[in-house]
Structure 1
Amino acid sequence: MNGIEVIVAHRERATLRVGDVFLKIDADQERAEAEVAAMAWAPVPTPEILWRKPPVLALAALPGKALGRLSEPSTASSAAWVAAGAAVRKLHGAPLPPWGGRSLDDVVRELDAECAWLVANGVVGADVVARNRRVAEAALRPWTPVFVHGDLQLSHVFVEGDEVTGVIDWSEAGQGDAMFDLAILTLNHEDRLADVIAGYGVDVDVDAIRGWWSVRSLQAVHWLIEHGFDPAPELAVLHSRK
């Protein structure tokens, strides 16, 4: 054990690592309970729950390492990305959890509010926001709900060699659009989308995935700035849209 490592920390929650144990501290106990329920419901490997004493949830570390980081090129193999796509397909094929998720109306309402904030505060040019809002339309359509992770960043998928060893951070899990998970997994890593699709298989709407890239980036920048994080990867996505 080499001291305490702060994985992430902001006003809502924090995650610390002590040796092979992760301590998640969440001010919202309903969210913490949802995470525990989602891990129990998920048909893919998740961290072992060692103990829980609100507001702290102790989880065992997963073997391997994260598929990558949002701000860096991934060094994981093509086969590992294919395996990640297959794991997502398994998740989406599972029975729906008994709790819901964000509706299309919720997404549109939040998206329009964030677009207005970005322009009003001069964070992103009005032309860039407008262009991404148009791209986003491909995602803003009715979907058949599946069991989604809800925050499937590549740093939340752990691999060892070419195999997925587990998926972490399930607090946003629920019912939602399958293409949203695929979009979050490949955000700022468009070059890996073909591998993910190869593992996922059929029923992939690439236009919807591209739409969710814009939705996610437009929605995330405000929160990241407000909580002291660098929004550079999301801004790069916004500026790359055609």
Structure 2
Amino acid sequence: MDEVEVVVAHSERATLRVGDVFLKVDADQARIDVEVEAMSLAPVPTPEVLWRKPPVLAIAALPGTTLGRLGGPSTGSSAAWAAAGTAIRKLHDAPLPPRAGRAGRSIVALAAELDAECELLVTNGLLPADLVTRNRQVAEAALRPWTAAFTHGDLQIAHVFVEGNEVTGIIDWSEAGQGDALYDLATFTLGHEEHLDDVVAGYGTDIDLDVIHAWWSLRSLLVVRWLTEHGFDPFAPGCEVDVLRSRM
């Protein structure tokens, strides 16, 4: 009998690994619907869906390893990061999926959410006011018109698998949909600024780096409180709070 590994678990969802099978348990079946649909449409390698019986989705493990994790060292070469950039560009150039994703929130809604979150961060004493104010200023550059692309919506480096210098698959598509391509690139390079040039080289087109920096600040501001309340540590070295401090 294979050992059961808890990959991630909180009040909204949990992922377990048993051998070469991942079991995703989600309280919101709409997220699973989005995930299955996005994997069927994405022009990049994705996990094989083995079976689905709500609230559980079973998918096969991917070959290879991730490029690293937020707060940890990168295990991938520059060529591997560039290959990831090429895969991300292929996704962004694909025909649009039918619905908006996490990266597709309107500028007005996003600005309102950001302002409310910044106020809570200061009021609750989670972050100092000067740190929040500076990063809110940086984040402003992300609040601009953008052309919709097929986005992953939660493209953390832990969600991209490589073998050598080849991308073998991308996991966790529950936030996928139409959205801002630079949100994906910023999420992927969050906390690993040293590999941004590699990713951009593989992506193969001009990127507004100010917008990438803005998304680093914006994303970090929005998730610090949620992470703290769900048992994660955004204050760990190299994680979201350090990303915010790097903008000072």
What's the TM-score once normalised by structure 1's chain length?
Answer: 0.98
Could you tell me which residue of structure 1 aligns to residue 193 of structure 2? 190
Could you tell me which residue of structure 1 aligns to residue 72 of structure 2? 72
Could you tell me which residue of structure 1 aligns to residue 137 of structure 2? 134
SS in 1 for 2:142: coil
Question: 1: distance between equivalents of 2:116 and 2:231?
Answer: 20
Consecutive unaligned residues of structure 2, counting only runs of 5 or more, are none
Could you tell me which residue of structure 1 aligns to residue 108 of structure 2? 105
Return the offset for 1:186.
Answer: 0.3
Match of 1:238 among 219, 227, 244: 244
Consecutive unaligned residues of structure 1, counting only runs of 5 or more, are none
Question: 2: distance between equivalents of 1:42 and 1:24?
Answer: 20
Could you tell me which residue of structure 1 aligns to residue 87 of structure 2? 87
SS in 1 for 2:185: helix
Return the offset for 1:109.
Answer: 1.5
Match of 1:166 among 165, 169, 178: 169
Could you tell me which residue of structure 1 aligns to residue 9 of structure 2? 9
Could you tell me which residue of structure 1 aligns to residue 227 of structure 2? 224
Equivalent pairs counted in the alignment come to: 242
Could you tell me which residue of structure 2 aligns to residue 144 of structure 1? 147
Q: Any idea what the Cα deviations from partners look like across 1:14-57, whole Å, max 9, x if unmatched?
A: 00000000000000001110110010110100000000000000
Please tell me the residue identity of whatever aligns with 1:138. Answer: A
Please tell me the residue identity of whatever aligns with 2:213. Answer: R
The CA RMSD measured in Å over matched residues stands at 0.8
Return the offset for 1:220.
Answer: 0.6
Question: 1: distance between equivalents of 2:199 and 2:131?
Answer: 28
Please tell me the residue identity of whatever aligns with 1:155. Answer: A
SS in 2 for 1:34: helix
Question: 2: distance between equivalents of 1:196 and 1:203?
Answer: 12
SS in 1 for 2:24: strand
